[in-house]
């Protein structure tokens, strides 16, 4: 299959009014913290990178794409750009790319990453004919990088300061080189942050052009509240134009980037239509695999009002359903738990008992039952609070951060996605 890479609206100015793009928000966690980025969840009104109104599972994302293609048949590119980092969520990212490639052989595929954990996936990205990869490289000097990145988490270890920046920059440059060896179009995003790296972006351009980058996108930093850089003013258009002119000595420039949301859909620069946002919300409210019939949510509770019981202590589970018309959630059943003992078999038996449930809300759960239940398509969410609120939020695909147990609120400051998967 030959892909028509000229149809990519971000890479070809002449395509951007004709062809659309869609970002599938399947990657909530991040493996680094940039001092300018806030990944808020469920925010409909902000138009900036890192924001999404919902997070989808790969199969929900495919469902959403199918709906979106009916609304905007001109979508030529499927991208994954967060709200966190695609390769801090590699399973979700790769499964989504595989599903899209399988169902839409002619679709252009694109990912945007900080590059920290990109390298191990490059060969498979090339096999899947992912034609465009963007790496955000804001510095090539670790001194400058250490001003931009609060922390980097790699192979379960936390890094800070120069050490963190060194590791990140090293991985970014290696991955960029490899992308070019396997023939993937490589774009580099450099965020212009006044007083931090505005004098340094030219060095980034020089270095990445040596390594074969195809195009540079010098983006003005977007002033964002609740970030370390919230008091830094955005660069003026004159400064941005000067930097673009200077760096064009080394690389062609992308100048029309709209700093899109992680769930952007349609023509670049146009806000998402209400119809599209409704489809996104609908996809998020479906079971993780929308083709499965899972109309219920199970809850572990001592008295039936609060989520206050550990999974292993429950002798019965309360089963809730939602009325599709009124949106009212109610108790429909109570099912006995399998008897304690028996190791994994106990949890496999529970998965069979809850086979029509999309999620199980508990006050605590071990790794082993969580794994077994997840594998059988039942999401285990460790929460506290009123059952009715929680069940309604999960059924309607809303953010459940406020209900997650304290231990699950993340040091990385990411809004929890409700996947219960923990931080990158």
Ligand X SMILES: C[S@@+](CC[C@H](N)C(=O)[O-])C[C@H]1O[C@@H](n2cnc3c(N)ncnc32)[C@H](O)[C@@H]1O
Shortest distance (Å) from residue 16 CB to ligand SF4:
8
Residue 191 site contact among ligand SF4, ligand X, none (CB < 5 to 8 Å, cut-off depends on kind): ligand X
**Which one, of 193, 134, 128, 141, lies nearest residue 168 by Cα?**
141
Give the CA distances from residue 114 to residues 12, 47, 274, in Å, rounded to whole numbers and listed in that order: 22, 20, 30
**Which one, of 79, 121, 128, lies nearest residue 101 by Cα?**
128
Could you give the CA distance from residue 414 to residue 420 in angstroms, rounded to a whole number? 12
Q: Given the complex with ligand X, which of 61 and 362 has the nearer CB atom?
A: 61
Shortest distance (Å) from residue 318 CB to ligand SF4:
37
- The answer to whether 21 contacts ligand SF4 (rule: CB under 6 A) is yes
- The answer to whether 85 contacts ligand X (rule: CB under 6 A) is yes
- The answer to whether 219 contacts ligand X (rule: CB under 6 A) is yes
Structure tokens, 137: 């490289």
Could you give the CA distance from residue 108 to residue 283 in angstroms, rounded to a whole number? 22
Which residues touch 22 (CB under 8 Å, ≥6 apart)?
A: 65, 68, 72, 75, 77, 78, 79, 264, 265, 266
116 HSE (CA, 13 A, CB side): 30
Shortest distance (Å) from residue 324 CB to ligand SF4:
34
Q: Given the complex with ligand X, which of 33 and 57 has the nearer CB atom?
A: 33
Using CB under 6 A as the binding rule, the residues of this chain from 244 to 303 that contact ligand SF4 are 257-260, 264, 268
Q: Residue 83: is the preceding peptide bond cis (ω within 30°)? A: yes
Give the CA distances from residue 254 to residues 39, 112, 216, 218, 403, in Å, rounded to whole numbers and listed in that order: 24, 15, 6, 8, 42
Q: Given the complex with ligand X, which of 94 and 318 has the nearer CB atom?
A: 94
Using CB under 6 A as the binding rule, the residues of this chain from 114 to 143 that contact ligand SF4 are 114
Q: Given the complex with ligand X, which of 255 and 371 has the nearer CB atom?
A: 255
Give the CA distances from residue 235 to residues 154, 199, 241, 253, 330, in Å, rounded to whole numbers and listed in that order: 31, 12, 10, 18, 52
Using CB under 6 A as the binding rule, the residues of this chain from 170 to 199 that contact ligand X are 189, 191
Q: Which of 9, 50, 58, 418 binds ligand X (CB under 6 A)?
A: 50
- The answer to whether 37 contacts ligand X (rule: CB under 6 A) is yes
Q: Which of 72, 89, 136, 172 binds ligand X (CB under 6 A)?
A: 136
Shortest distance (Å) from residue 248 CB to ligand X:
19
Residue 98 site contact among ligand X, ligand SF4, none (CB < 5 to 8 Å, cut-off depends on kind): none
- Please, are residues 288 and 280 in contact by the beta-carbon 8 Å criterion? no
Structure tokens, 287: 């079971």
Q: Which residues bind ligand X (CB under 6 A)?
A: 34, 36-37, 49-50, 81-82, 85, 112-114, 136, 189, 191, 219, 221-222, 224, 259, 262
Q: Which residues bind ligand SF4 (CB under 6 A)?
A: 10, 21, 30, 32-34, 37, 39, 50, 79, 81-82, 84-85, 114, 257-260, 264, 268
């Amino acid at each position: 299959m030959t892909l028509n890479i000229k149809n990519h609206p971000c890479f070809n100015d002449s395509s951007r009014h004709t062809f659309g793009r869609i970002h599938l928000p399947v990657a909530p966690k991040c493996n680094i913290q940039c001092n300018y980025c806030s990944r808020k969840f469920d925010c409909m009104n902000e138009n900036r990178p890192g924001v999404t109104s919902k997070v989808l599972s790969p199969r929900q994302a495919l469902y959403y794409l199918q709906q979106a293609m009916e609304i905007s048949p001109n979508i030529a590119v499927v991208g994954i750009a967060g709200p966190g980092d695609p390769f801090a969520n590699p399973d979700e990212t790769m499964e989504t790319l595989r599903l899209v490639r399988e169902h839409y052989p002619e679709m252009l595929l694109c990912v945007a990453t900080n590059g920290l954990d990109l390298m191990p996936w490059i060969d498979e990205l090339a096999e899947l004919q992912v034609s465009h990869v963007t790496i955000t490289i804001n510095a090539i000097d670790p001194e400058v990088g250490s001003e931009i990145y609060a922390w980097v988490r790699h192979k379960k270890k936390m890094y800070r300061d120069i050490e963190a920046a060194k590791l990140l920059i090293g991985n970014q440059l290696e991955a960029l080189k490899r992308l070019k060896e396997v023939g993937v179009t490589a774009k580099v995003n450099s965020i212009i942050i006044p007083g931090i790296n505005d004098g340094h972006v030219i060095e980034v351009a020089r270095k990445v052009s040596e390594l074969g980058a195809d195009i540079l996108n010098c983006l003005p930093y977007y002033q964002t509240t609740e970030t370390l850089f919230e008091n830094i003013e955005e660069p003026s258009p004159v400064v941005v134009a000067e930097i673009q002119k200077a760096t064009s000595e080394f690389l062609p420039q992308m100048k029309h980037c709209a700093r899109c949301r992680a769930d952007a859909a349609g023509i670049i620069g146009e806000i998402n239509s209400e119809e599209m946002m409704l489809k996104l919300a609908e996809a998020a409210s479906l079971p993780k695999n929308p083709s499965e019939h899972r109309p219920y949510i199970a809850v572990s509770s001592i008295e039936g009002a609060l989520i206050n019981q550990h999974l292993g202590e429950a002798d019965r589970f309360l089963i809730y359903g939602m009325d599709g018309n009124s949106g009212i959630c109610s108790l429909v059943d109570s099912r006995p738990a399998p008897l304690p003992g028996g190791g994994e078999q106990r949890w496999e038996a529970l998965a069979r008992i809850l086979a029509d449930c999309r999620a199980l809300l508990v006050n605590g759960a071990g790794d082993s039952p969580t794994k077994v239940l997840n594998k059988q398509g039942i999401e285990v969410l460790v929460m506290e609070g009123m059952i009715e609120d929680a069940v309604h939020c999960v059924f309607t695909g809303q953010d459940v951060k406020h209900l997650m147990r304290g231990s699950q609120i993340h040091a990385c400051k990411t809004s929890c996605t409700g996947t219960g998967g923990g931080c990158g």
